[in-house]
Structure 1
């Protein structure tokens, strides 16, 4: 697996990381055994960078990762997130130093480590200026609990304000062939500031794969159930484009998932995508995406069949949009 640098001063990590939200059942039932098998497959593929959060199952994802590391005697480079008040109504966030420190300490305990390589503010607390939050994070970094810090789902303007206080190692936002908003300033701002840009959901929450999804089979607790892009006419329209992507990929001997991840890698050397899965078989579909090299003709064809804005429907429902900083 090729390597990329996690921010200006950060360590080198695998060019593709593993998003671990699925370990907490956000997309369907899973188990400790299957999660362990997925982590085994990631390690064997050369993936050494995991992304998790306090929110994922109220610490369940972190607990599974910690148990795997203890049992296997191996150590991933880990990014985790906090700042959302667990058990409170959606949109209740707390970025105070007291809350962030308590969240970090809980994460470290569940992960079984004394520090993590990267810590994100999962969602902004609008009552506290981002400069003040950055001061808090820099103090915690100096204390040695975190190697670096970043923010999730912020705007380029907020990134620049934070970076005026201290180096922001990474920004995490949804970015894929069907979600292109970061092209309107965030990818460029990260490159300018030496900040890694970490695309989550580079597989479009599972739609950019070789198997048709069936939204009617989604459980009520599935994160995609209320998502506009998976409903009715929107979903039918979107699948037409996905099938064109599949044909493009298969003509070249690539899986659709690997092609989608490779596309994010191709958008800049500072991008580190973190596709998520709860299946070792699905992980193997895209783990070799760093070896795909697009020709100019390939790039032109992808731009033709999947132009910016092709996806029908918003990327989140109104309820899911709470706390997201929108800038366009």
Structure 2
């Protein structure tokens, strides 16, 4: 497995990480045993970066990981997140980047994970009215206290990254980035490269659109994130499946799978880009890892660009509710 640097002074991590939201069931029911089998497969495949958050199942994902680590310590570099809250009366989501909240949530995450520090701690969503410079100071104190190895932000704008990085070095920015979500190419890919910040790409497989078998809404459970996602409701879904079909055929022509090809394309975007496909299946993870074995030349990249040009997707990547807290910058 190829390794990449997690920020300028951060640890060396596998070029592909494992997103662990799926351990909490956002795309369907799962079991702790299934998640543990996926973690064991990650270890065997050389994947050493795992990504979770306090709100993934309201602590379920972290607890599942912690239960695995208690019997299998070492190997993994752990990233987790905090900053999202819900009003207990209304259920409405809001954001809290205060020092007290981030500290209490970090300490709760460490307890669930069964560790005394994590390698990377993100602000999951930025609190718009709180200066990011203040938040950066809070995160830097966590480093000084030995609770985290580095810090980052999820779904922020390049301008916010530059403000934060001027206070203390940011380790990573996490953004949705894939062949059908190309917004990071409008400034974030370049800003991270210029500053020596890792760009951790979540949902690199478009929430399953690049899987060999097309997503079927009939199989979506009530809690499935895609049930209310604009790209997965009709008529958008049928149009997206049709648009992606030639890409899947091209993957076959190259002797690989669309999953591996989509991952390989992301890895070609820069040595600072680290995809973290989310899965609860050891078999699916193995298919993702094969993307790190592919080397795409100019001819292949040009053909992928012709088949799936920027902006080909039908529908917004988030509904209005799902996009709450995401910083726009174009």
Q: Provide the TM-score with structure 2 as the length reference.
A: 0.98
Structure 2 unmatched runs, 5+: none
Distance in 2 between the 1:320 and 1:21 partners? Answer: 15
Distance 1:73 1:139, change over 3 A: closer
- Aligned residue for 1:58, secondary structure, equals coil
Task: Give the whole-Å Cα distance in 1 for the aligned partners of 2:102 and 2:68.
Answer: 25
Task: Tell me the CA shift for residue 140 of structure 1.
Answer: 1.1
Partner of 1:97: 99
Provide the secondary structure at the position in 2 that maps to 1:150: strand
Contact 1:55 1:86 in 2 (8 A): no
Asked if 2 retains the 8 angstrom alpha-carbon contact of 1:199 and 1:272, the reply is yes
Equivalent residue runs for 1:1-328 within 5 Å: 1-86=1-86, 88=88, 89-328=91-330
**Aligned-residue offset at 1:87:** 5.6
1:142-198 Cα offsets, whole Å, 9 max, x none, are: 111000000000000000111110100000000000000000000000001100000
Cα distance change of structure 1 residues 207 and 149 upon mapping to structure 2, 3 Å threshold: same
* Runs of 4+ in structure 1 over 2 Å off: 72-75, 86-91
Which 10-residue stretch deviates more, 240-249 or 164-173? Answer: 240-249
SS at match of 2:225: coil
Q: What is the TM-score normalised by the length of structure 1? A: 0.98
Q: How many residues align?
A: 328
Distance 2:124 2:259 in 1: 26
* Cα drift, residue 323 of structure 1: 0.7
Aligned-partner SS, 1:198: strand
